[in-house]
Structure 1
């Protein structure tokens, strides 16, 4: 945690209210996101109990599994979930716009620009907390390899046709959520914690109700008191006033309400199956219907407060202006969505259980590059974030006190003006250290020459501008700071460089899974069913 973040948390404790950690919105928020509030049972890892899902704030769709141990009921839940999620995804798959993409020419080996279709927008899934993202990833893994009756008529427990397709999409959303700065799948607690510093730990910030209590507490109630009530406050029946942000349930709810309700449902279903005549069957069916309604009401009582809290958090985030680089990161999300849409349409197999060495290395390099890009862009978009980088010695700002024109050595001398800057910051600069500033959205490079004076105690430093001044002998207008201008330079690069090109999977050494044999040409089959796959 940075020093400025620590100070913000201390100020939140003192004032009783969360403090802003950003002045702009650093994540894209769709005008019509799909909110997904899952609920799981405690007895079986990842077993769905129910969910609220939808794009309309006042009209969520309630999905319930009355008996989570019943495989047919679980598949019915997943099929209903697919009926909601897949049409939402398909609505973004058809509208495209022309775009250019760099590809390698197979004949010349050179990079060329080709025109392709790019989806004009992309779907966005929002879950309450990080645990919700983990559950989405688990659902994707457990669904994408399921066999349908059409694919394999002899498969036991065939899945509904749309379930494997939903699994592929959820896997893609889960993988994309691991890329820093991506907004296809967001955990609301993480987005809120990025923009506000509460007076509690990062782990406690994963409770959506407690985090909102710090950010927007009731009038006259300190955030700490409101958060404590959200975490442990219970009604006269011993149930939490603010259910956790899912997907896990409270033990008191499981033991006192849910377990007895499921037992009544099981008894009613057994009695209906044993009914001997039509009149008795009608009575037993009425009992079963009442038991189903009871379970549905219980699930809704645990998910609806979280659903309302998610939309309340979205309202708080939408009040912030969007950062300048957010649209660029969303464009990369659109490319990712378009690429997966094309793979599905082309009939490619589901994502493999394990990545090969080259794919894994590429993913790791991409995440590292995007993390550095995100940190740089957030600082450039947000003065409050830049203040933290300045406090850490990774950037500095000041007023230009003098500009002296100078030229580089060579047959065609290029302008290399010397800029004197007065600053109170103390950046970690060494001789000829490169520094950067944003000039028209592009990074301009300068070089640290030294301090005026012996120790730089007067705060005057000299920088040499190196590029972005045009091709003429005289710098272009506006490309060199003028006396009196206030400028900000960073020690970190604004654009991240790509790494070394990795070999094709077919050319990897045997130590990394290659060269492939005949077996590698066979598409990977479905995973064997394991405890992790069983919902």
Structure 2
């Protein structure tokens, strides 16, 4: 928890109302999302009990497993879920657009839109991941066959669960994480996991949150008291009232999901949300192509090289997401200013036409002076970036203490055109307020990983064969 979020939590507690910790929305919210609320039977490993799902608030659809321990009924549930979810996922695999690659020397195509499946919480994501693992390898013939849609559903669920691990991805968001990214409550992080309580803090306040805590949980686990006194007798007796009971149990969460979406839609989207959604569309397009060409299920576990490459992609995505959120949102950037990784000031001097001719050829290197009253924790030689001009680098030449703060002399490079004269507006003018930070959106190249066949046997490569040498003794 950051310092400013901790302060917002304290203010929320004192005011009895959730406090905003973002000025913009940091994720994409689809115009036609698919809301899915899974419910699992307590005490059974990934045994589905019910699910409420749909793409419209006024049209929820309920799936129920009357005997969760019955294998056939579980896979019938999977087939029903596939009949609802897979057509939605495939409905975006239509119109495409051309995207320039390799600096315009080539093009590729991706779909103009992608699906978005919303879950209540991270427990729902874990449920889908496990459910995808239990269904994607099922056989459609031979002993114990399943409906052909079941293994396809498992592959889609595994794909979606994988994207949920990518920071900034919006293909499989969950309401609890999305709301806590934008609001801080006066309760603990564990209590925020209760969707009803979290929504009450944001919409009404602490008093309403205390009442909401007594309401139904958002799954996938059920309340033990409900399991013992209500659910168990209904399942044991095959009571037809089971469907009505589960519908009443899930309906408050269903309503809460759409309220959460409305709260998020009310926030303006951050400038870089669109580019991250473009990445989601790329991932979706690539997976649709995979299903069309091969369709093989994802492996049970990654090999050593694949796991290392995936870890590096996730680390790069996390770093990029943190920078983009800070560049989009002054409240997020404030945390970096507090830590000394950013400062704001006013340009007091500017030489936009300065040319450095000390090298083999002259290059445009304007200099500006920024006066700031904030603490400056950067040294000469450090490279800074301004969110207003992310393609431009500002090298710190000197930092001079003044009566009111510091004067920072900067030398600019990049983002000013290819000539020895800066393009209009590319160099900050005197009087302009400027924010500078050590954060950067610069591309991070991936590391070179060996081929799996070139790794030792401990990492999936071939075993080392050692020939025994026997000496002959006369």
Q: TM-score range by the shorter chain?
A: over 0.9
SS in structure 2 of the partner of residue 185 of structure 1: coil
**Residue 145 (str. 1) matches residue 118 (str. 2):** no
- Contact 2:369 2:407 (8 Å CA) reproduced: yes
- Partner residue of 1:224? 206
| TM-score scaled by length of structure 1 | 0.83
- Partner residue of 1:37? 37
| 5+ long unaligned stretches in structure 1 | 103-110, 218-222, 234-241, 266-290, 518-535
Pick from 354, 379, 382: which aligns with 1:430? Answer: 379
Partner deviation per Cα, 1:190-238 (whole Å, 9 max, x = no partner): 0000011111122211110111011101xxxxx222222211x3xxxxx
Q: After TM superposition, give the deviation of residue 516 of structure 1 in Å.
A: 8.9
**Residue 353 (str. 1) matches residue 335 (str. 2):** no
**Residue 263 (str. 1) matches residue 263 (str. 2):** no
Extract structure 1 runs of 4+ deviating beyond 4 A. Answer: none
Residue 456 to residue 322, structure 1, CA distance change in 2 (3 Å): same
Partner deviation per Cα, 1:389-428 (whole Å, 9 max, x = no partner): 2112111111111124644222433232331112122242
Partner deviation per Cα, 1:347-384 (whole Å, 9 max, x = no partner): 24210011112211111111111111111111111121
Q: After TM superposition, give the deviation of residue 457 of structure 1 in Å.
A: 5.5
Residue 117 to residue 93, structure 1, CA distance change in 2 (3 Å): same
Pick from 425, 442, 448: which aligns with 1:495? Answer: 442
- Partner residue of 1:133? 125
Distance (whole Å) between structure 1 residues aligned to residue 211 and residue 224 of structure 2: 18
Pick from 337, 350, 370: which aligns with 1:421? Answer: 370
- Contact 2:379 2:399 (8 Å CA) reproduced: no
Question: Where in structure 2 are the equivalents of 1:351-500 lying within 5 Å?
Answer: 351-404=298-351, 406-408=354-356, 409-439=358-388, 442-453=390-401, 458-500=405-447
- Contact 1:439 1:479 (8 Å CA) reproduced: no
- Contact 1:431 1:450 (8 Å CA) reproduced: yes
SS in structure 1 of the partner of residue 387 of structure 2: strand
- Contact 1:438 1:444 (8 Å CA) reproduced: no
**Residue 322 (str. 1) matches residue 314 (str. 2):** no
Pick from 159, 166, 176: which aligns with 1:189? Answer: 176
- Contact 2:373 2:404 (8 Å CA) reproduced: no
Distance (whole Å) between structure 1 residues aligned to residue 293 and residue 452 of structure 2: 21
Partner deviation per Cα, 1:250-283 (whole Å, 9 max, x = no partner): 1111111111111211xxxxxxxxxxxxxxxxxx
SS in structure 1 of the partner of residue 92 of structure 2: helix
SS in structure 2 of the partner of residue 7 of structure 1: helix
- Partner residue of 1:276? none
Q: Once structures 1 and 2 are overlaid, which stretch shifts more, 131-140 or 115-124?
A: 115-124
- Partner residue of 1:91? 91
Q: After TM superposition, give the deviation of residue 515 of structure 1 in Å.
A: 4.3
Aligned length: 462
Question: Where in structure 2 are the equivalents of 1:163-178 lying within 5 Å?
Answer: 163-178=150-165
Q: Once structures 1 and 2 are overlaid, which stretch shifts more, 500-509 or 91-100?
A: 500-509
- Partner residue of 1:236? none
Partner deviation per Cα, 1:466-497 (whole Å, 9 max, x = no partner): 33233333322222111100111110112231
Distance (whole Å) between structure 2 residues aligned to residue 473 and residue 182 of structure 1: 40
SS in structure 2 of the partner of residue 500 of structure 1: coil
Distance (whole Å) between structure 2 residues aligned to residue 432 and residue 503 of structure 1: 35
- Partner residue of 1:204? 191
Question: Where in structure 2 are the equivalents of 1:63-102 lying within 5 Å?
Answer: 63-102=63-102
Q: After TM superposition, give the deviation of residue 101 of structure 1 in Å.
A: 4.2
- Partner residue of 1:285? none
- Contact 1:358 1:503 (8 Å CA) reproduced: yes
**Residue 310 (str. 1) matches residue 283 (str. 2):** no
Q: After TM superposition, give the deviation of residue 51 of structure 1 in Å.
A: 0.7
- Contact 2:324 2:441 (8 Å CA) reproduced: yes
Distance (whole Å) between structure 1 residues aligned to residue 98 and residue 455 of structure 2: 35
- Contact 1:396 1:427 (8 Å CA) reproduced: yes
